[in-house]
Amino acid sequence: MLGFTVLAQDGAARRGVIETAHGRLETPGFFAVATRAALKGVDPTAAQRAGLQALICNSFHLFLQPGAEAVAAAGGLHRFMGWDGVLATDSGGFQVFSLRHGQVADEVKGRRRLPASDEDPAEAVKVDEEGAVFRSYLDGARHRFTPENNMELQRSLGADILFCLDECTPFHVPETYTRAATERNLRWARRCREAFEGLGMAERQALYGIVHGGVYAEQRRAAAAGIVELGFEGIGIGDCLGETKADWYQVVDWVCPLLPDDRPRHLLGVGEPDDLVEGALRGIDTFDCAMPTRIARHGQALVLGRRRFRLDLASVAARGDGPLGEGCDCATCARFSRAYVSHLYRAREPLAIPLLAEHNLRFTARLLERVRDAISAGRLAELRREVLEGVA
């Protein structure tokens, strides 16, 4: 079950609302990443205070620990983790792929080269038509994911929105590899769809298909057509999005026009401040990203007007008085100065992390509130200029 209503449009941008069995998510909106059923560094109530309406967990990680049975026995993911808002689960295809390559993000985002040995990625991750074989990073045990068993896994976890099992391709791979993977991902998408329906889950859960195709226009178009045909409740744009932001803008520009207007579009793994605006401008409805909570753990606060929208609390720039970000209305900034948070981070006081994480989540949520209002007012392009102003 998934409702999606478009309330306003501004060019390609849409403002809308997704309705699920656990409440609504206003769009453009954001899924905070809670991979192992936890927002790293903060309590889910902080996300709620920050105005976030959705979280996304990872079925792969939860499968390994604590296991689907444990989550189901606890009454499902919502009850297990104490979050009664919108909840999604990713399949874990991205992780299966990353086990071999280590630094997932570097690889997918194109910042890292494959080993000089030039080994065949298919061998490396052991993906075949049936599914993907991988080793647990916890105990080395071998496991196999298939579209069917992954749907069963995500069903028992019980999130509102599920993502199809897919294989994410690295950037530095021959186009022919991406093509084969994209075609197989489409076959897997069909199997996921059938398994999902066969499990009778559609009452309370919705399934998103994912458009693959790397940085190749024709592959993206073919994949989009294939995914649309399968009638998913929502559509993700995933796989390798290229090396630069311009690359993913291009991918989104290829794909979005081919998608039905009445289905929400999710851009997987993207969520830096400028990305949210650029994505919305191109017709993206939802985002998810580990960045806000991760950089919080590493001592950085999202702010406007600084390079890459980041203030490093360990830097001299963070020594000044005042809040983390000018005009920030988060719970952290309401109570503490940047000098204090900087002190906490430098002194390695654990409190620094939840304070920064909540700030970063609020920054993200607040920016999207502005994006939604701008769409309603037909001035998203102006907001884009304001946000990007003075930022290198």
Other CB atoms within 10 A of residue 3 CB: 13
Which residue bears the tokens 């909570």?
Answer: 293
312 beta partners: 300
Of the residues 58, 178, 182, 332, which one makes contact with RNA according to CB under 7 A: 58
For residues 350 to 379, the per-residue mask of contacts with RNA, x marking binding by CB under 7 A and - elsewhere, is x--x--------------------------
Q: Would you call 275 a catalytic residue per the annotation?
A: no
* Of 192 and 383, CB closest to RNA: 192
288 beta partners: 31
Q: Does 348 bind RNA (CB under 7 A)?
A: yes
Q: Does 39 bind RNA (CB under 7 A)?
A: yes
> How far is Cα 290 from Cα 56, in angstroms, rounded to an integer?
10
* Of 184 and 294, CB closest to RNA: 294
Site for RNA in 131-170 (CB under 7 A): 137, 163, 166, 168
Beta strand 310-312 with 300-302: parallel, antiparallel or unpaired?
Answer: antiparallel
Q: Which stretch binds RNA (CB under 7 A): 5-13, 149-157, 251-259, 292-300?
A: 292-300
Q: Does 278 bind RNA (CB under 7 A)?
A: no
Of the residues 268, 324, 333, 365, which one makes contact with RNA according to CB under 7 A: 268
Q: Would you call 120 a catalytic residue per the annotation?
A: no
The residues binding RNA (CB under 7 A) are 33, 35, 39-41, 56, 58, 61, 90-91, 93-95, 98-99, 102-106, 108-109, 111, 137, 163, 166, 168, 210, 236, 238-239, 245, 268-272, 275, 288-291, 293-295, 297-300, 307-308, 310, 312, 314-317, 346, 348, 350, 353
Active site residues: 90, 288
